[in-house]
Structure 1
Amino acid sequence: MTAKPLLLPEPPEIPGISFHNYQSEKDLENILLVCNRLYELGIHEGGLELDELKNDYAHLNNCDLARDFLSVSYHNQPAGYIRRYWENLIAEETRVHINILWMLPEWMDSPVGDYLISWVEARASQTSADLPPLTGGNRIEFLAPETDKAKLKLLERHGYRPLRYYFDMSRSLEGELPDHPLPPGLEVRPALSSQLRQIWDASIEAFKDEWGSTELTDENYAQFLNDKTNHPELWQVAWEDDQIAGMVMNYINLAQNEQERRFRGYTEGISVRRPWRGRGLASALICRSMRMFKALNMTEVALSVDAENPSGALGLYTRLGYQTYLTKINYAKNLPEAS
């Protein structure tokens, strides 16, 4: 017998606290205010801009903002928000319900936070009831930086446990930099506008082997094209004849650099397609990226990595001099079912 979906909980009655679903662009402005406050507290990264939020929210998948977004205010001032969506995992017969939660610490580990957790669990239950069942069931996930102690405490109190760890790593560009040659038969060419979809598709193909990968859509591609940090002129794309072998989709977050008062380039989107793996291509492209950023007067590079990446990426980045400066934890638990 199929269990009935969970009912949405009643919000707590706390003087000054109010909740509402997504209404307008004003909610995005409130997100920015909350995240900037969390940045001041050392919890959220800097550099978030309203245009970035507008682009993200214009190209959502599997998310009904009228039902999957909840804003929290205290005396009409933004205090936090949560947004949820779902994806089917490629490598598992599992549906994952992903939640983005940011809130001021004084409300995170409180009945307000408890309510948001119960609310997203109920929404996940309702959503899964409307979708075809999967043999691997449904899982609910939150990503939390280790600096957000209130969120970690809240999640653990509700039965969420670490499932995966991600490391944010950086490397100084001062002094001598490593140098690895391109494998024979490969060359790096500028990324032309006419090739962007081909490059994106090659990247998606390569990342399908990663843990937690999902099927991406045209909405994802539209979001990617309109992202302010999308800088094809900085990419290192290796080709063999007319085939893309691998790439590093470098970018510079100018707003973040200004806010953090630093000169950082990101060596992100590192991928190598299966036929070209095991030949040192990723090392060569990352080293080329470092030298390019140094020529642009950047003083450091950074990236994020899955600590258990099956390709051994963490070891590669460590050998190239990257060091961890922040750990992020993917908390998860199976979707509770109503009796």
Structure 2
Amino acid sequence: MSTELRPLAERVDAPSVAPLPEGTGLTWRPLATDDIDALVRLVDAVESADAAPYRSAREELAEHLEDPALDLALDTLGGWDDEGVMRAWAAVDQPAGDTRVVRAFLSGGVDPQWRGRGIGRQLLAWSQARGRQRIVATDKQVPARIGVFVDDTAQGSIDLATAGGMTPIRYYSEMRRSLDGDLPVVAPADGIRVVPWSADIEEQARLAHNEAFADHWGSEPQTPEQWIQGRAMFAPTWSFVAVDEASGEVAGYLISGRYEQDWPIAGYTSGYTDLLGVRRGWRGRGVASALLLAAMLAYRADGIEFAELGVDTENPSGAHGLYARLGYEVFHGTTLRTIEL
């Protein structure tokens, strides 16, 4: 019996037009880069109301709007009230490097003052419709997924996603450890050297990332363009690579972010490990632990109080257990909810 998938156009049921919300009291149009001030205010209000332990920085939101892979005219939507205040927004991203599963990721929110009017439900319907359009447009004959990451503290968003047919498929933990007192005593195996991040290893690190995450659920290869996106808060002096001295190859890497906008919310300063990966041939040799220690030392040298990171609770490399052994503890959770196509 053939297991070949039917064409995406048949499986995904993408509408010709994504339906705009109606009867909301808002005027709808795509976002523009000069809407950044309004978007920053709205996102801050949403994250505050949802008790998120973070805040999205202006630089991050601006980078998203300026991403060449995001067609603002088709992939974004904003709703403005009669006084010209943005009250709702949505965006749909489709990573270009997807090869095993074509994904469309939804983001957005409704001003807390305008909730309870059915706006979120209609905005989600528009987002899902646009997500289907973007998936079909790839013309890749592989499984497809529409997904949204929801903070476990955001009950309204959880209820909305559930009503929209999006079910939990993966769980992620945010973890942290204090940098006060003694740090773990770890070292990589002989022949592995941890060195500071530098521009000339970017491509090697990207290829190492694609290899390291090839066996991780939900991970897809990153193109060179994708690899350098999302760097608005990149902290190069807090980032490192592990090099095999015999071959000169990158065995592992750690990319940190400096999210100062989160510090007042958390009540402490922190360095955040955005990405950490070790290629399969170098696993089990202390590479990840050595990279994490290098980051902790760099954070602490700059007066930072905590080290933080996020992890898939079912990570196949045993990362969750490793972080726990190094003193990291869970303080927040996020769930990926999807429609599998």
Give TM class, smaller chain.
0.7 to 0.9
Deviations 1:57-100 (A, max 9, x none): 32343x322111011223321222110022478573x3222111
* Aligned twin of 2:217: 211
* Aligned twin of 2:322: 316
Aligned partners of 1:47 and 1:257 also within 8 Å? no
Q: Which residue identity does 2:122 align to in structure 1?
A: Y
CA distance in 2 between counterparts of 1:296 and 1:326 reads 25
| Residue segments in structure 1 that go unaligned for 5+ positions in a row | none
CA distance in 2 between counterparts of 1:38 and 1:109 reads 14
CA distance in 2 between counterparts of 1:293 and 1:285 reads 12
Describe how 1:50-89 pairs up with structure 2 within 5 A. 50-61=58-69, 63-75=70-82, 76-87=84-95
Q: Which residue identity does 1:332 align to in structure 2?
A: T
* Aligned twin of 1:5: 14
* Aligned twin of 1:286: 292
| Residue segments in structure 2 that go unaligned for 5+ positions in a row | 1-5
> How many percent of aligned residue pairs carry the same amino acid?
27
Match 2:168 to one of 152, 162, 169: 162
Q: Does 1:189 align with 2:198?
A: no
CA distance in 2 between counterparts of 1:315 and 1:30 reads 41
Q: Does 1:119 align with 2:123?
A: no
Deviations 1:142-180 (A, max 9, x none): 111011111111111122110111111111112222111
Q: Does 1:96 align with 2:106?
A: no
Match 2:241 to one of 220, 228, 237: 237
Q: Tell me by how many angstroms 1:205 deviates.
A: 2.9
Aligned partners of 2:88 and 2:109 also within 8 Å? yes
TM-score (normalizing by structure 1): 0.87
Secondary structure of 1:301's counterpart equals strand
C-alpha change, 1:108 and 1:321, in structure 2 (3 Å) is farther
TM-score (normalizing by structure 2): 0.86
Describe how 1:111-150 pairs up with structure 2 within 5 A. 111-132=118-139, 134-136=141-143, 138-150=144-156
Q: Tell me by how many angstroms 1:40 deviates.
A: 3.2
Q: Tell me by how many angstroms 1:300 deviates.
A: 0.7
- Alignment root-mean-square deviation, CA: 2.5
C-alpha change, 1:240 and 1:34, in structure 2 (3 Å) is same
Q: Tell me by how many angstroms 1:236 deviates.
A: 2.6
